[in-house]
Amino acid sequence: MNAHHDELVFVPNVGFRLAHGALGSENVVVRRGAQTLTAGLTSDRDGAEITVTISGVEEQLDFRKSRPVDTPVRIVDDRGRALDERPSRYVMNSHFYRLMEGPTQFQRMVTLDRLDPDVRSVEFAMTSAAGDWRVAIPVQPLSASGARGVSTDAKAVVHDIEIAVPLVACTPALTAVEIDAYDLRRGEPPVSVEMAERWLEGIGAIAHSRALGQDLLILRDNTGAQHLECPRPVQDRAPRGRRREVALFGPMPEGAVSASLEIPYVAVRERSDELKVPVPAEIDVTLNGCRAHLTTSRVEHSSDSTENRPSPIEGLNGPCMRIVIVPADTDAERQLAMCGVMESNDRGMTMSVTRSGPPVIEVPDPTGDSPYVTLRNPVIRLRGPWTLELPLPARAP
């Protein structure tokens, strides 16, 4: 952050963004026969992304299905400079897909290096199964305002998971701490998820976001005061292979110039063989070397489906299988916390967590008498702690 245009500021509900030098576009909409193309572009601290969606395609997929397709693109800016595509953070960056009960659509995501600030438009050319398209996307400079982010070198590595605090911002109302996690086993540049033996699922949480009291982080400042994290951190975009979020705390007291942040555990999803478990059952299982007590049962409908408020996933309003996993040793370095359920791939699922209980997974069971459920790719809780010592900047007005 040496150059002026690389100054980063904290934007509430968004994360740290460039104060100057970012670019963005309004959605460009092009209609051609039954098809409608929508394209948009953003360029900020990590690079640029173009997202193109086409509706009205002839392809028809089943509920919650997708099909990857190879789609070459050519991107040129208004100065005639060809822009090369780089590895994407997305699992699939070119595919037909169908979500919930809506129609099948085509989507192409393109990841680029950050655009030069003088760019005012890019031309997107694509040859695809959804047709050939050439679209100009006008872009304009964007600026952001907020508390200035101050760089830190705080970093810790446990279980080959590197966690850093790149930025901190303080105001009279809050303290924003950016947390960046990276699995060193994925290499540099990181291999794709399809090739990875494991990938990050949560920082101090088994699934994405900390929202419960037992998961919230604590920041201890040099005056001895302890600050409990505000629920639900800001989930931010991150380059491929990384996980980035901003933990929010209350304002720091006068005299607080440094603090210690401790992250008790990280959750990763690991590849595994399939494990068939009877339904109903109450048994001990082992997956990827982690032991757990597992209970399966049948229920009339999922716990998030009621008569007055049914689930948007139709199958969860009928017979379901319920799976509850409890680690055999809660002090172990590796603990089996949750599992993928193969039957959910075409049926959907729901997962709920109470303040003190284990995750409860519910998957539709259309027949109401499935003899077993198939588990795969467990979520493993890796015990830390990751302890990070960081400076606290002066509070911005």
* Cα-Cα-Cα-Cα dihedral sign, residues 244, 248, 251, 257: negative
The pTM (predicted TM-score) of the whole model is 0.88
pLDDT at position 100 is 64
Comparing CA positions, the residue from 338, 361, 351, 195 lying closest to residue 267 is 338
pLDDT at position 214 is 63
SS3 395: coil
* DSSP 8-class letter at 152: E
Looking at this protein, which amino acid is placed at residue 362? E
21-142 matches 147-268+384-391 in fold: yes
Looking at this protein, which amino acid is placed at residue 221? D
> Do 24 and 139 contact (CB within 8 A), yes or no?
yes
pLDDT at position 213 is 60
pLDDT at position 192 is 82
> Do 356 and 214 contact (CB within 8 A), yes or no?
yes
Render the burial of 15-30: b for 16+ CB within 10 Å, e for the rest. Answer: bbbbbebbbebeebee
From residue 289, give the alpha-carbon distance in Å to each of 197, 274, 278, 379: 15, 14, 20, 12
Domain 21-142 fold: Immunoglobulin-like (2.60.40)
* Cα-Cα-Cα-Cα dihedral sign, residues 191, 339, 313, 365: positive
Phi-psi region of 377 (alpha: psi -120 to 50; beta: other; left: phi over 0): left
Comparing CA positions, the residue from 109, 141, 135 lying closest to residue 123 is 135
Taking the chain (397 residues) in consecutive chunks of 10 residues, what is each chunk's mean pLDDT? 67 95 96 95 95 92 84 95 88 81 88 95 94 96 95 97 97 96 90 88 84 80 94 88 94 94 95 95 96 96 89 90 95 95 85 79 93 95 96 82
Comparing CA positions, the residue from 110, 45, 53 lying closest to residue 84 is 110
pLDDT at position 353 is 77
Triad 269, 271, 277: Cα angle to 5°: 95
pLDDT at position 356 is 67
* Residues β-bridged to residue 200: 268
Domain 147-268+384-391 fold: Immunoglobulin-like (2.60.40)
Question: Could you tell me the maximum CA-CA distance found in the chain, to the nearest angstrom?
Answer: 66
Pairing of strands 131-138, 15-18: unpaired
pLDDT at position 348 is 84
Q: What are the boundaries of each domain within the chain?
A: 21-142, 147-268+384-391, 275-379
Tokens of 96: 């037909």
pLDDT at position 397 is 67
Comparing CA positions, the residue from 272, 269, 273, 292 lying closest to residue 282 is 292
pLDDT at position 4 is 40
Phi-psi region of 326 (alpha: psi -120 to 50; beta: other; left: phi over 0): beta
Q: How far apart are CA 122 and CA 40, in angstroms?
A: 11
Phi/psi for 75 (5° steps) reads -120, 130
Q: How far apart are CA 65 and CA 395, in angstroms?
A: 48
